[in-house]
A and B are shown apart, each in its own frame.
Chain A
Amino acid sequence: MNTEDFAEDFAADAALFARMRGMWEKVDPMPADLVDRMVAAVAVEDLSREYALLTLVEGSLAPVRGETDTATLQFSDGTTNVLLHVTATEDGGRRVDGWVDASALAIRLTQGDRTWTAEAGEHGRFAFDSVTPGVSRLRLVVRGDDGEMNDFQTPQFEV
């Protein structure tokens, strides 16, 4: 096979692969919101990232004492508000119910190296069913009304 044939075959293959790429993009497109979910999932995982700090506006950073005790914490940066309700579970763990008044794409609770991930549900509700008691921090990525994605984290608090 001479050089021209090689070149022609190679160009023809490249053209056919390009058509196939276009075809798969049409017949099996990536879900439209997948990229945003991926950006958010990576953002809460990336510890090198600088998060805007939400501050405690209401509640106490002290831990829940026992099964009958509950704690409610509210964090805000003036625009985005996060409400956390901490209860003790029967097995001595903690349940954290939360609510955020923005469209959350990823929510994570961290205690040192340990992390728990929650899915944002209807109306900004989310929950961590069973978390060990300890000093915690919440990180979240939300989409504001302007469509921009923002990263937040809370100060440390005890659950």
Chain B
Amino acid sequence: MLAQMYHERSIALWHSVDRMGAMTTADAEASVDSPEPTRWERAAELFLRWREGESRAMDELVRLMSPTLWHVVRAYGLDAALAEDVVQTTWLTLVRRHESILEPKAVSGWLTMCARREAWRVGKAHRRADATETESLEPHLPVRESAEQTAATDDESRRLWQYVSRLDDRCQRLLRVVAFDERPDYARIAQDLAMPVGSIGPTRQRCLGKLRTLLQSDGWEGDRNEH
């Protein structure tokens, strides 16, 4: 039964990568692990309550989704101040343009897409402005600094980070966006990462594959039997 469910989801994932609403690992995990509503379902409910006049529901929506938006935006290599600006712009855009959201259930995907778009735009403008200084330097993700600065990071995370940080920037970005975005719009991610849409599934698999190879070469226990 479970296997059948996974099977259908896998098919849905791999065959509709160019559509909004493709099932992702986060969805599957949340619905398999617990009967609690997924994050995007809670987001949809709060958004509807806000639209119906319950102004405080927006506070809860902001609290629920800001961590996700932070990680999605940081995947684009923006420094902390720029990333915060982008997260804020995303929220203000929601308040100003919420009437254009025809499907309230899609609010979570709408937010992450808006954040990715804005992060991409800001990142591009910033890189252009800095082009003369950074051209010759290796592409640089601020997350690396944070990782090094965080002395108290627990052991497993630090070890895993050592491997993830060895992946190329594009893989790191893709994996981080997919990890945090429950309903990625693969067409948009592909455009942002300058990859053909058809390759996003394979690219994701390639990035995951590389990571697994790194983990296994160091004797990291397989992650198959968890969950």
Please determine whether B95 and A35 come into contact, CB atoms closer than 8 angstroms.
no
A31 to B3, CA, bound (A): 39
Please determine whether A19 and B227 come into contact, CB atoms closer than 8 angstroms.
no
A104 to B211, CA, bound (A): 45
Q: B34 interface residue, CB < 8 Å from A?
A: no
Please determine whether B150 and A3 come into contact, CB atoms closer than 8 angstroms.
no
Please determine whether B59 and A43 come into contact, CB atoms closer than 8 angstroms.
yes
Q: Which of B1-33 contact A (CB under 8 A)?
A: 2-4, 6-7, 9-11, 13, 25-26, 28-29
**Given A28-B147, A46-B58, is A15 in contact with B227 using a C-beta cutoff of 8 Å?**
yes
Q: B76 interface residue, CB < 8 Å from A?
A: no
Residues of the A chain whose Cβ atoms lie less than 8 Å from the Cβ of B208: 13, 16
Residues of the B chain whose Cβ atoms lie less than 8 Å from the Cβ of A43: 58-59
Number of A-B contacts (CB under 8 A): 149
Residues of the A chain whose Cβ atoms lie less than 8 Å from the Cβ of B92: 41-42, 45
**Given A19-B223, A45-B95, is A34 in contact with B70 using a C-beta cutoff of 8 Å?**
yes
**Given A9-B10, A20-B160, is A50 in contact with B55 using a C-beta cutoff of 8 Å?**
yes
Q: Which of A12, A28, A41 contacts B88 (CB 8 A)?
A: A41
Q: Which of A4-45 contact B (CB under 8 A)?
A: 4, 6-31, 34-35, 37-39, 41-43, 45
Q: Which of B43-58 contact A (CB under 8 A)?
A: 53, 55, 58
Please determine whether A16 and B10 come into contact, CB atoms closer than 8 angstroms.
no
Please determine whether B223 and A15 come into contact, CB atoms closer than 8 angstroms.
yes
Hey, what's the 0/1 contact readout for A64-97 against B, CB within 8 Å counting as 1? 0000000000000000000000000000000000
Please determine whether A23 and B59 come into contact, CB atoms closer than 8 angstroms.
no
Q: B133 interface residue, CB < 8 Å from A?
A: no
Residues of the A chain whose Cβ atoms lie less than 8 Å from the Cβ of B164: 20, 23
**Main SS at interface, chain A:** helix
Residues of the A chain whose Cβ atoms lie less than 8 Å from the Cβ of B157: 22-23, 26-27
Which of the 9-residue segments B102-110, B120-128, B173-181, B188-196 touches chain A? B173-181
Q: Which of B28, B63, B84, B153 contacts A14 (CB 8 A)?
A: B28
Please determine whether A26 and B25 come into contact, CB atoms closer than 8 angstroms.
no
Q: Which of A7, A19, A49, A50 contacts B2 (CB 8 A)?
A: A7
A124 to chain B, nearest CB (A): 21
Q: Which among A28, A38, A49 has the greatest number of chain B C-beta atoms within 10 A?
A: A28
A41 to B91, CA, bound (A): 8
- Given A6-B11, A11-B227, A43-B59, 12 more A-B residue pairs with CB atoms under 8 Å apart are A8-B224, A10-B25, A15-B29, A16-B212, A20-B160, A24-B176, A28-B143, A34-B84, A35-B66, A38-B62, A39-B62, A46-B95
Residues of chain A at the chain B interface (Cβ within 8 Å): 3-4, 6-31, 34-35, 37-39, 41-43, 45-46, 48-50, 149
